[in-house]
Amino acid sequence: MSMTLVEKIIADHANLAEVHAGEIVVVHPDLVLANELSGILAIETFFRHGRDHIFDPDQWVFVPDHFVPARDIRAANTARRFREFAYENGIQKYYELGRGGIEHVLLPQEGLIWPGALVMGGDSHTCTYGALGAFAIGVGSTDLAALMVSGELWLSVPETVQIVYRGTPSPWVEGKDMILYTLGQIGGDGAHGQVMEFHGALLRTLSAADRFTMCNMAVEGGAMTGIIPPDAVTQAYIVAHGNKYYDEKALSTTYGNAHKIIDIDITGLEPQVAQPFSPANSVPVSAIGDVPLDQVMIGYCTNGRLEDLRRAAHILAGRSVHPHTRLLITPGSQQVYQQASAEGLLDIFLAAGAMISPPSCGACLGGHLGVLGAGETALSTTNRNFVGRVGDVKSRVYLSNPTVAAASAVAGRIIAPQELPGLVSHPQQVIPTTELWSPLEVTA
Amino acid sequence: MIEGHVWKYGDNVDTDVILPGRYVSLTNPADLAQHCLEDLDAEFAQHVRPGDIIVAGSNFGCGSSREMAPLAIQGSGISCVIAASFAPIFYRNAINIGLPILVTQQVAAETKQGDILNVDLLTGRVENVLNRRIFQAEPFPLLLNDIIRSGGLLPYLTNNRQGLK
């Protein structure tokens, strides 16, 4: 019986010849991620059950990124205990502040993710790594504690739904718009417990940054994770970042198998904006109406990569943030921050009147570094706009791509970028002039 | 057998409203319980009684993987969460920490706020005490049943030294 890409990856990590959707299996992940919040609860659970040293320190990566730099004394003590546990257990892949960043930008950049890898992380957006052809899922803290005990964990093998994009969108469309539109089409629970496997001619030409953004938000469609079968773009990324070798031939036998196929026609698609209070509540930016903005947030794990900051800088160069609006820029990692500095992007942001935040999950989850007050409205490039997500229960959050966010910061209300005078083209049009070679076209 | 009053909610109750991000640095269930469902139903934490039951629609616990959300529910004394479906990570978390959950579309569709349910967790039988209607929840896979019977994943691993099988 043929397997899907994800079934193949799971079988390889369960020591089984075949696995199929619906089965419960025990897998040994290549990599397990903890941040200081999911990690501290796991560490407490681990100790409470009489354990002291973890099964395999090399399996782990520890990234403090949520409430750091410490927002208060409790957060400082959480980060301290998390750090001490890493040191005591000999976890080499511990990324201190100033040498790391936001986990989902950091891990691929550090070469820790590769096609065919099985990754578990104590964070729901672990699904981001599917962009490189890994099977990566978010788990809870007791899951992490069990992985500390034995290095393995149970898993329900998911079905795969192929999302196949057809047609050519407007030149202002980015990966963020494709995933927001997809969520709008299928709903916030449209891929319940399944894997969203992304396909289509346009997808093959998307940059790795756009792919990370898309897979990052698979969980917002109710999916267990998202994945993109590896191709030339994947190959170029992993060569550039020193990621591990993978067996392309073994994986490629599984491409094309799926439990369900959903066609998404993106012909003429406009940039999308998700309205409160669901990422699946997306509409074209032209239909958004008059939405004045108190705050605009660009960056984070969804859109905090160098390509994203370049797009924002292209819009903001020579322009100023609206007097009634605050703009926060949060680079996804220390490396992104440094590269943005070297390219002069930070100078553009500062001159425009933006505030640059350290790489941290920060306000995205209502933690610190820019949470919203009662009645305030924000446009954000993050992944969630649930009630109270970014601060006060009476605040409202809209979601968009970085280009729309930057243009809207200038206008002080949500606008399409081309509404700004003097802006003629997208800074980094995602539809390239030459098609990249790819063996993986889905013809179904 | 458990019996309790129903707190009824709709579809897509996310973990941000179950336990808002501003409180996720708390880890003690009793502390978390003070903020349980704060951004969805401010009445809940004040009036919930031990043994009460949450009944919800589809995709309960979607969003963040924060285990503080099921811990807050557990700390509130909720005896069982019954939903038409659970988000994948919340489902894992509830089973792993020993918070009883049952999956059934019917109970979600036919139960009101304030109803009294009688629940047999071993068989998945649910009875509405007010109108004597009886429902049957979906069974759990074998391994998950064993984890549930052990009271959670870490107790299971303590009882089964050879690990997950």
Contacts of residue B85 in chain A, CB cutoff 8 Å?
A: 189, 192
Query: Of the candidates B16, B40, B143, which has its C-beta nearest A384's C-beta?
Result: B16
Residue of B82, B84, B81, B63 lying closest to B72 (CA atoms): B81
Give the gap in angstroms from C-alpha B59 to the nearest C-alpha of chain A.
7
Contacts of residue A394 in chain B, CB cutoff 8 Å?
A: none
Contacts of residue B163 in chain A, CB cutoff 8 Å?
A: 26, 150, 152
Q: Does A49 touch chain B (CB under 8 A)?
A: yes
Chain-chain contact of B164 with A78 (C-beta, under 8 angstroms) = no
Kindly report the number of other CB atoms within 10 A of residue A242's CB atom: 9
Q: Does A37 touch chain B (CB under 8 A)?
A: yes
Which CATH architecture fits B2-159?
A: Alpha-Beta Barrel (3.20)
Contacts of residue A141 in chain B, CB cutoff 8 Å?
A: 67, 93
pLDDT at A256: 81
User: Would you place residue A377 in the very low, low, confident or very high pLDDT band (cuts 50, 70, 90)?
Assistant: very high
Tell me if A145 sits within 8 A of A48, measured CB to CB: no
A441 has a pLDDT exceeding 50: no
In chain B, the residue whose alpha carbon lies closest to the alpha carbon of A372 is B22
pLDDT at A426: 74
Instruction: Kindly report, residue by residue over B73-118, the tens digit of the pLDDT.
Output: 999 999 999 999 999 999 999 999 999 999 999 999 999 999 999 9
In chain A, the residue whose alpha carbon lies closest to the alpha carbon of B143 is A24
Phi, psi (degrees; rounded to nearest 5) at A121: -140, 145
Give the per-residue SS3 of chain A.
Answer: CCCCHHHHHHHHHHCCCCCCCCCEEEECCCEEEEEHHHHHHHHHHHHHCCCCCCCCHHHEEEECCCCCCCCCHHHHHHHHHHHHHHHHCCCCCECCCCCCECHHHHHHHCCCCCCCCEEEECCHHHHHHHHHCCEEEECCHHHHHHHHHHCCEEEECCCEEEEEEECCCCCCCCHHHHHHHHHHHHCCCCCCCCEEEEEEHHHHHCCHHHHHHHHHCHHHHCCCEEECCCCHHHHHHHHHHCCCCCCHHHHHCCCCCCCEEEEEECCCCCCEEECCCCCCCEEEHHHCCCCECCEEEEEHHHHCCHHHHHHHHHHHCCCCCCCCCEEEEECCEHHHHHHHHHCCHHHHHHHHCCEECCCCCHHHHCCCCCCECCCCEEEECCCCCCCCCCECCCCEEEECCHHHHHHHHHHCECCCHHHCCCCCCCCCCCCCCCCCCCCCCCCC
SS3 of B150, please? helix
Give the gap in angstroms from C-alpha A196 to the nearest C-alpha of chain B.
14
Contacts of residue B96 in chain A, CB cutoff 8 Å?
A: 140, 142-143, 146
pLDDT at A444: 33
pLDDT at A1: 78
Rounded mean pLDDT, A166-189: 96
A72 has a pLDDT exceeding 80: yes
In chain A, the residue whose alpha carbon lies closest to the alpha carbon of B39 is A393
User: Would you place residue A428 in the very low, low, confident or very high pLDDT band (cuts 50, 70, 90)?
Assistant: low
Range of weakest confidence among A240-244, A409-413, A418-422: A240-244
A432 has a pLDDT exceeding 60: no
Give the gap in angstroms from C-alpha A359 to the nearest C-alpha of chain B.
18
Rounded mean pLDDT, B140-165: 91
A433 has a pLDDT exceeding 60: no
- Give chain B's mean pLDDT: 96
Query: Of the candidates B40, B88, B164, which has its C-beta nearest A224's C-beta?
Result: B88
Contacts of residue B58 in chain A, CB cutoff 8 Å?
A: 189, 192
Chain-chain contact of A152 with B85 (C-beta, under 8 angstroms) = no
Rounded mean pLDDT, B18-30: 96
Rounded mean pLDDT, A179-202: 97
B68 has a pLDDT exceeding 80: yes
pLDDT at A252: 85
Tell me if A58 sits within 8 A of A32, measured CB to CB: no
Give the gap in angstroms from C-alpha A150 to the nearest C-alpha of chain B.
7
pLDDT at A436: 34
pLDDT at A427: 65
User: Would you place residue A247 in the very low, low, confident or very high pLDDT band (cuts 50, 70, 90)?
Assistant: confident
Which residues numbered 147-166 in A keep a CB inside 8 Å of some CB on B? Answer: 149-150, 152-154, 156, 158
DSSP string, B81-117: EEES-B-HHHHHHHHHHT--EEE-HHHHHH--TT-EE
Which residues numbered 279-338 in A keep a CB inside 8 Å of some CB on B? Answer: none
Residue of B70, B80, B94 lying closest to B125 (CA atoms): B80
Instruction: Kindly report, residue by residue over A129-165, the tens digit of the pLDDT.
Output: 999 999 999 999 999 999 999 999 999 999 999 999 9
Chain-chain contact of A139 with B62 (C-beta, under 8 angstroms) = no
pLDDT at A90: 98
Which residues numbered 368-397 in A keep a CB inside 8 Å of some CB on B? Answer: 371, 384, 386-389, 391, 393
Q: How far is CA A419 from the centre of its chain?
A: 28
B134 has a pLDDT exceeding 80: yes
Residue of A135, A122, A92 lying closest to A110 (CA atoms): A92
In chain B, the residue whose alpha carbon lies closest to the alpha carbon of A153 is B164
Contacts of residue A123 in chain B, CB cutoff 8 Å?
A: 65
Contacts of residue B92 in chain A, CB cutoff 8 Å?
A: 139-140, 143
Chain-chain contact of A389 with B24 (C-beta, under 8 angstroms) = no
Chain-chain contact of B154 with A37 (C-beta, under 8 angstroms) = no
In order of their start, the domains of chain A are 5-265 (3.30.499.10), 273-419 (3.30.499.10)
Burial status of residue B43 (CB atoms within 10 A of its CB: 0-12, 13-18, 19 or more):
exposed
Chain-chain contact of A45 with B154 (C-beta, under 8 angstroms) = yes
Chains A, B: CB contacts within 8 A come to 144
Residue of B1, B11, B4, B2 lying closest to B109 (CA atoms): B11
Q: How far is CA A397 from the centre of its chain?
A: 18
Instruction: Kindly report, residue by residue over A84-124, the tens digit of the pLDDT.
Output: 999 999 999 999 999 999 999 999 999 999 999 999 999 99
Distance of alpha carbon B55 from alpha carbon B104, whole angstroms = 10
- Helical (H) or strand (E) element with B50: none
DSSP B144: H
